[in-house]
A and B are shown apart, each in its own frame.
Chain A
Amino acid sequence: QKEVEQDPGPLSVPEGAIVSLNCTYSNSAFQYFMWYRQYSRKGPELLMYTYSSGNKEDGRFTAQVDKSSKYISLFIRDSQPSDSATYLCASSYSGAGSYQLTFGKGTKLSVIP
């Protein structure tokens, strides 16, 4: 079992829809959770960064971590065509093991005008 699992999609939604992107992880020692957005032929860009359980909101984006079920989510409200990209979740340990991020395989999202 891979340490971070992510449905690769593709996911296609109409403009204005609420998008839910999800990952599960198997390593209970993971403490940091991130979402990256990657446009075609570009590098991954950090979207959201959370530590431990709970919600974090930034504009139209909300990151949610449920450590009891080892579930990571990213919600996008009022989705726009410019949100079309691949979204990667990532997790890492804290402390000495925090050097290495473990990535999911990414979910490709298309927002149709």
Chain B
Amino acid sequence: DTAVSQTPKYLVTQMGNDKSIKCEQNLGHDTMYWYKQDSKKFLKIMFSYNNKELIINETVPNRFSPKSPDKAHLNLHINSLELGDSAVYFCASRGTEQFFGPGTRLTVL
């Protein structure tokens, strides 16, 4: 069973479109995250939710909106996609240790 899963794995879209990435964890963790990894492999935190409440909101354009319908899910919606949004987006969840999902490779054309 996959501990942290994300869909889709690949996302190719045009500039200006709106897209969503979904994340689910079956670890029973209270805390979930979204990270962005750029072409240089640097992992940058975007958001963190603890028990469905937003606790970390780094300097991210407000085109990015996370939503946590329940403790096991944290989705990321992106409006008006730009070229610079192209990256790999990782979801993660944390109890004592932090586990990452497989990533969603977003390409904006």
Interface hits, B15-58 → A, CB 8 Å: 31, 40-43, 45, 48, 50, 55-56
Docked-complex contact A100 and B41, CB < 8 angstroms: no
Docked-complex contact A99 and B97, CB < 8 angstroms: no
Interface hits, B54-109 → A, CB 8 Å: 55-56, 90, 94, 96-103, 105
Docked-complex contact B90 and A44, CB < 8 angstroms: yes
Q: Which residues from B are CB-within-8-Å of A99?
A: 31, 48, 50, 55-56, 94
For B, the interface residue count at a CB cutoff of 8 angstroms equals 22
Docked-complex contact A105 and B56, CB < 8 angstroms: no
Q: Which residues from B are CB-within-8-Å of A76?
A: none
Q: Which residues from B are CB-within-8-Å of A106?
A: 41-43
- The size class of the interface chain A forms with chain B is 20 to 34
Interface centre among A45, A86, A90, A99, by most chain B C-beta atoms within 10 angstroms, is A99
Answer whether A100 and B48 are a contact pair too, CB < 8 Å, given A46-B97, A49-B97, A106-B41.
Answer: yes
Tell me whether A23 is interfacial, beta carbon within 8 Å. no
A contact set with B: CB distance below 8 Å = 8, 34, 36, 38, 41-46, 49, 86, 88, 90, 99-101, 103, 105-106, 108
